[in-house]
Amino acid sequence: MTTAGRLTAAVKNRRTANIAVLVGAQTVNLGGVLVVTALFAPADFGRFATLFAVAAMVGGASPLRLEVAATTATEADAAQLIRAAMRSNLVAAAATGIIALTCHTVWGQLDGGALAESAALAAVTYAIAAAGTYTYARVRERRYMRVSGSKLLTAAVQVAGQVAASVVMPTPAGLLAAAAVGYGAGTLLLLTPTPTGGITLPPMRDVLRRHRAFMLAAAPAGIVSAVAVNLPVAASGVALGTVAAADVALALRIGALPSALLGQALMPLLLGEITHRVRTDAALALPTFMRALRGLTAAGCVSVAAVVAAGWWLIPVVLGEQWHGVGLALLLLSPFLLGQFAVAPVSQSLNAAGRNATQLVWDVARLAATAAVFGAAAAGVIGYRACLLWFSAMMAAAYAAHVALTRAALAGLPDASRKEPVAATATAAYR
């Protein structure tokens, strides 16, 4: 085998190993949810799930998308952006804990348990935010194996900790603390120092001014996106009734499994390569994006079709005939599920191309379309099936529009000379 052939084989092996570890992490995560739900009372797990959702939302928004800005910034700017993001994370986590403690005080529930729960909520919020921030920092350096290992370690430690909490501290605070330890362990694995010797770091104020569009547009877009993702389940109960809402919620959860196991697992690797091209060789950014999109679309067609078919035939058998409506909901939602699988893992490419305002407008339009469809159902203008079909079609169209916007943005990047050196070897991208 020639030297080029050996390098190509090494890259393929590293890529396969990365994908295997990422999918393994998602599998451990999903399996852990099943185990933990069996060990805790529904009320305790429900409270934990609610508080964890708050932590995930705050932790996801607290870096103000500065970590995404770092993926395409110069090395000096990137170091300052990560520092600014971590400071913002700390402030947001502390504020979350203080607000939780204040609420317990106002409601007359201040005791040791409330103090522990508030502290655990602040800790997990910071841990989630830190893990996300440093994930983007390592993605910028194309250290994908480090990112993969971090996600697997996070899932394993979190599940082990929550199983232990069922014995030592069987409360929502115990579950939150275990999650914080899991994300903290993953973050420690990501803390690889980036050499900055000889690099003059610019003033923080100048760096933030250069990348202010990420704070002013991309960060609000992330919050709007989180609301849009969760709105269908919340709106179903009002617009379609509790039984239909249960079918929709379960269909969305089952339909998201392919994306959770594979699509989102591939996100660091795919986005890392796209942002690397944006930073070093803009002419290759669009071909890299399209190659990733074609692969995700092909995998999505197969996996979503398999899930819909399995849901149609197996759910009534496994869960009982009362859940037969889930199969129909999966079928009606399949265009949306395919669009989500194919586009979501590379959706940050639009921000990476500097079109932060465009991303915000798109997210607002998606939220408005979702609200309009379920509002029409609540008003009795359309029925259950029409509601899901319209929602699915509009979301598929929205994802298609996102692809068109991203293609135009990447095609319009200035074809400047390389700003930073490219990895010297083919395997350097998969450390």
CA-wise closest residue to 352 among 12, 65, 151, 60:
65
**Overall average pLDDT of the 171-183 stretch:** 90
Q: Two tokens at 406?
A: 């991203």
**Overall average pLDDT of the 234-238 stretch:** 71
Query: 2 or 338: whose pLDDT is higher?
Result: 338
Cβ proximity of 140 and 272 under 8 Å = yes
What Rg do the C-alpha atoms of the chain give, in angstroms? 22
pLDDT band of 194, cuts 50, 70, 90:
low
Query: 215 or 29: whose pLDDT is higher?
Result: 215
pLDDT band of 108, cuts 50, 70, 90:
confident
CA-wise closest residue to 131 among 104, 103, 153:
153
**Overall average pLDDT of the 375-392 stretch:** 89
| The pLDDT of residue 42 | 67
pLDDT above 90 for 271: no
pLDDT above 60 for 1: no
| The pLDDT of residue 336 | 93
DSSP string, 19-33: HHHHHHHHHHHHHHH
pLDDT above 50 for 418: no
Cβ proximity of 192 and 75 under 8 Å = no
Cβ proximity of 431 and 146 under 8 Å = yes
Amino acid at 72: T
- Rounded Cα gap, residues 358 and 349, in angstroms: 12
* Domain ranges across the chain: 1-193, 211-418
Amino acid at 154: T
Q: Two tokens at 391?
A: 């929602």
- Rounded Cα gap, residues 14 and 263, in angstroms: 18
Q: Two tokens at 307?
A: 């899930």
- Rounded Cα gap, residues 242 and 238, in angstroms: 8
* CA 135-344-315 angle, 5° bins: 110
pLDDT above 60 for 429: no
* Three-state DSSP class for residue 161: helix
**Overall average pLDDT of the 241-247 stretch:** 73
| The pLDDT of residue 248 | 79
H helices of 320-420, where?
A: 325-343, 349-352, 356-378, 384-411
Cβ proximity of 277 and 359 under 8 Å = no
**Overall average pLDDT of the 19-37 stretch:** 71
Q: What is the pLDDT of residues 298-340, one digit of tens each?
A: 988 998 898 888 878 877 777 677 777 888 888 999 999 999 9
- Rounded Cα gap, residues 101 and 95, in angstroms: 10
| The pLDDT of residue 99 | 94
User: Of 60-64, 81-85, 264-268, 270-274, which range is least confident?
Assistant: 264-268
- Rounded Cα gap, residues 140 and 423, in angstroms: 12
Query: 6 or 176: whose pLDDT is higher?
Result: 176
| The pLDDT of residue 96 | 93
| The pLDDT of residue 415 | 64
Which one of 23-32, 38-47, 309-318, 397-406 scores highest in mean pLDDT? 397-406
pLDDT band of 13, cuts 50, 70, 90:
low
Which residue has 């803390």 as its token pair? 191
DSSP string, 271-298: HHHHHHHHHH-GGGHHHHHHHHHHHHHH
User: Of 33-42, 44-53, 320-329, 414-423, which range is least confident?
Assistant: 414-423
Categorise residue 171: left if φ over 0, alpha if ψ from -120 to 50, beta otherwise: beta
Give the whole-number percent of the chain exceeding pLDDT 90. Answer: 30
